[in-house]
Amino acid sequence: MAFRQAVVSGMAPDGGLYVPATLERRPADWWDGLRHAPFQDVAVAMAQVLLGDEFDEGELAALIPDALNFPIPIVRLDDALQAVELFHGPTFAFKDVGARTLARLLSHFEAADEQPLTILVATSGDTGSAVAQAFWGVPRTRVVVLYPEGQVSQVQEAQFTTLGGNITAVAVRGTFDDCQRLAKEAFADAALRQRVRLTSANSISLGRLVPQMFYYAYAALQAGPEARVVFSVPSGNFGNLAAGVMAWRMGAPISGFVAATNLNDTVPRYLETGHYEPRPSVATVANAMDVGAPSNFERLQWLFGGDRAAMRAMISANVHTNDDVRRAIAELHRRYGYVADPHTAIAYLGTQAPQHPSTSAPQHLFLATAHPAKFAEVVEPAIGEAVPIPGPLAEALARPRLVERIGPTHRELANLL
């Protein structure tokens, strides 16, 4: 199975997830050679190892920097605490990293093809905007975004319902889990797939996961050769964490991970009890992480060979309430003058948990996954100040919404497609 085929089809025919056949481990001196390299160079070097079979060097050296054309600042808050800001792309959320790369991979693979490709995405907020923006105007592609009506923020909705062109936004009367189910049912409908060439761009797509490995390695290298880096990852579908674990397996100098969640605690409960019990999602202030049945859990299982003890040695987990989140936003502002969105605040809270199993003196790097202006309704009351809205976000809010509405049934979605 080629990477190309995994990217173009999204999900395997049996409903399973694609994983890399091997994660070739690079030796320490290979990584040391990248210590002072800029982000894009680290990304291209890793892409060459991972995808070199299917691309020539020049293709990756053009495609990757075109996709990842925004900075990833690392902000030091104190001796052992840094924020890795992944939200400086066009939609002000970290999903731009995966979505922009996937869009370019697909159009690269599609170049010779005639029939347009439909990218079907279920979103609880940020995925929809990142994918819609990433594919907007890309030839021979059409994006259909499914989202739970009334359950995404104003700013998120504005970003994927105001584009038009090859982007169709579909409000589903139901929850995010309904949207994810509808997408799965569409992919499983053979008759529909005869008619429409469907692919996915959710975090189940390997083409989104691979580029997320790059910033883990870059940030870990920046922390210096002595640092025992522990990443705190605000987790919902667990694609981001799976990418981090893949970077570690490739040999990037990472000591451990914290999986920090909101009240949707399916994976933390698994780590604690050994029972994997998906539940309906619960709505929280960090809504891009409102996932009760995380679709990347299978990949984590695969990465640790199904061994929970091995997973626990590398990943600790903790769970945070809406009140915890508001307190953390206030605390970051008061202590460090740092303004964080609710998801980033959960990552910060992850760094405060008791000692990590992997190391006693960690350098904590928490992933800042969205710009605080995207969640101003939560952030502003917590810090008692206004959060300035970046220009492109303000423009999206002012544009008219273009939305199709359906009930949560396969028939209605199939008709629409």
Ligand X SMILES: *Cc1c(COP(=O)(O)O)cnc(C)c1O
- Residues found near ligand X in the complex (CB under 6 A): 93, 95, 126, 203, 234-240, 288-289, 343, 369-370
Indicate the residue among 227 and 376 with the shorter CB distance to ligand X: 376
Indicate the residue among 183 and 370 with the shorter CB distance to ligand X: 370
Q: Which residue has the tokens 């626990």?
A: 312
Give the shortest CB-32-to-ligand X separation in angstroms: 29
What is the b/e burial string over 370-401, where b = at least 16 CB atoms within 10 angstroms of the residue's CB?
A: bbbbbbbebbbebbeeebebeeebeebeeeee
Q: What is the distance between the alpha carbons of residues 8 and 141, in angstroms, rounded to a whole number? A: 12
Indicate the residue among 222 and 232 with the shorter CB distance to ligand X: 232
Which residues 6+ apart lie within 8 Å of 14 measured at CB?
none
Give the shortest CB-261-to-ligand X separation in angstroms: 9
Q: Residue type for 285, please?
A: V
Residue length of the chain: 417
Give the shortest CB-202-to-ligand X separation in angstroms: 9
Indicate the residue among 67 and 285 with the shorter CB distance to ligand X: 285
Give the shortest CB-113-to-ligand X separation in angstroms: 29
Single out the residue of 268, 289, 294 nearest to residue 279, CA to CA.
294
Compute and round to an integer the Cα radius of gyration of the chain: 20
Give the shortest CB-71-to-ligand X separation in angstroms: 18
Q: What is the distance between the alpha carbons of residues 149 and 124, in angstroms, rounded to a whole number? A: 10
CB 316 within 8 A of CB 352: no
Indicate the residue among 180 and 406 with the shorter CB distance to ligand X: 180
Tokens at 254, concatenated: 């990472």
Give the shortest CB-232-to-ligand X separation in angstroms: 12
Indicate the residue among 236 and 268 with the shorter CB distance to ligand X: 236
Across the beta sheet with 74-78, the strand order is: 74-78, 81-85, 363-368, 229-234, 256-261, 315-319
Sign of CA dihedral 289, 291, 294, 295: negative
Q: Which residue has the tokens 């705190």?
A: 232
Give the shortest CB-289-to-ligand X separation in angstroms: 5
Three-state secondary structure call for residue 2: coil
Three-state secondary structure call for residue 74: strand
Q: What's phi and psi for 153, nearest 5 deg? A: -70, 160
Give the shortest CB-292-to-ligand X separation in angstroms: 12
Indicate the residue among 60 and 242 with the shorter CB distance to ligand X: 242
Give the shortest CB-99-to-ligand X separation in angstroms: 11
Indicate the residue among 45 and 260 with the shorter CB distance to ligand X: 260
Which residues 6+ apart lie within 8 Å of 215 measured at CB?
39, 72, 84, 86, 97
Indicate the residue among 43 and 288 with the shorter CB distance to ligand X: 288
